[in-house]
Amino acid sequence: MSNTSFRRSDIDILRAIAVLSVILFHFDVDWMAGGFLGVDIFFVISGYLITSHINKQIADNSFSFKSFYARRIRRLAPALIVVLVVTSSISLFLLPKTLLNDYSHSLLATILYYSNIYFWSVADYFDTASTLKPLLHTWSLSVEEQFYFVWPIFLILVARFNVFRSAVVLVSIISIIAAELVFKVSANTTFYMFPFRIFEFGIGAYISGKSLSGLKQKNKSIILIGSLLLILLSVLLMDENSRMPGILSLPVCIGSALIILISHSTLNGQNLFSRIFGRIGLSSYSGYLVHWPLVVFYKMETGPTLSSLEVISLVIITLVLAEFSYRFIEKPTSIIQLNQHINKFYLSIPIFAMLALFFIISPCCL
């Protein structure tokens, strides 16, 4: 959906809520203790959009694995590559050799989309030492990519037996039960690993092809307020010690799904609120990419504590960089014709993986 005319403002506003929650959490805003739940919102949105897209193509008998993954590379890789190049360049100057060695391995893991597994093996997401890892936030991108690998195959299989929604409910229930059980053994595992996030994608997937837009406006407004409260209370009341992902993740996921289902006119209208937050949502991917390296490097230079003025300044800088990245990287690359450059998209991954390997074995890392 590179063409903005086909975008839904309410989903972009959800993206804005998600990315601002994560940013404020990472910028140590005390009252945003559960801001990391913004990632869960992103997963619900992805489950909804990807499932809707693939199911439509399956129904039209036009789905192609090659084109699907090329579109994902076209959508995600350009902004990510720019951020990785800039982050790596800065890391060469700021990181000590011991941290630079760790960074080089996380760089390769990020490019090959297994950084969630890498960081699971070396760090607790909420550990203080995590603030020294400029690519820690890419764990969620790897979870998304793993979803992209598994989900098309899953949808094709269930389409053959006409059991789409039953299958989605089943795998989601298994996922959330597994998350609750494994949390007792290793909370870090449930946080990072894709199987324990399937139910979040599944909630979005389940509502694909469904709509509550036909409800009376009064009822839709009640649902909208209730859904926003579910999300707000979740990010305000939950914290790093809460038992999630799992049952406690359901309020924010269900709230997000309901907002998508009702397609409320206030969120899709031409008003100041929808324009501002819709624009933030439009550039939310770039905002997510740049905010964490920015605050990591800033803290390395100034110290671990941020003042209110510093938080505000960093948020503004993040949004400006995100807008720049969207306008000059994401948007131009989104119109590249796949049929002319599809092989180049696939070739880009091993090329940048080799560059990451060079970064690992280069003398500066020894």
Query: What are the pLDDT digits (tens) for 279-296?
Result: 999 999 999 999 999 999
Evaluated on CA atoms 13, 17, 19, 20, the torsion sign reads positive
Residue 277 token pair = 């937050």
The string of DSSP codes covering 10-47 is HHHHHHHHHHHHHHHHHTT-TT-TTGGGHHHHHHHHHH
Buried residues in 164-179 as b, exposed as e (16+ CB within 10 A): beebbbebbeebbebb
Question: pLDDT at position 363, please?
Answer: 44
CA distances from 109 to 72, 113, 198, 208, 242 (A): 18, 6, 21, 31, 28
Identify whether the C-beta of residue 230 lies closer than 8 Å to the C-beta of residue 251.
yes
Q: What is the pLDDT of residues 139-176, one digit of tens each?
A: 999 999 999 999 999 999 999 999 999 999 999 999 99
Q: How many domains, in total, are found in the chain? A: 1
Residues 6+ apart with CB under 8 A from 331: 2
With CA atoms as reference, report the closest residue to 290 among 327, 309, 315, 312.
Answer: 315
Residue that is written with structure tokens 């100034």 in the block: 302
Task: Domain of residue 324: give its range.
Answer: 4-365
Are 164 and 64 a contacting pair, CB within 8 Å? no
Angle subtended by helix axes 115-122 and 139-161, to nearest 10: 130
| % of the chain at pLDDT higher than 70 | 91
Quickly state the pLDDT bin for 365 (edges 50, 70, 90): very low
Reduced to 3 states, what is the DSSP secondary structure of residue 107?
A: helix
The answer to whether 61 touches 214, Cβ cutoff 8 Å, is no
pTM beyond cutoff 0.85: yes
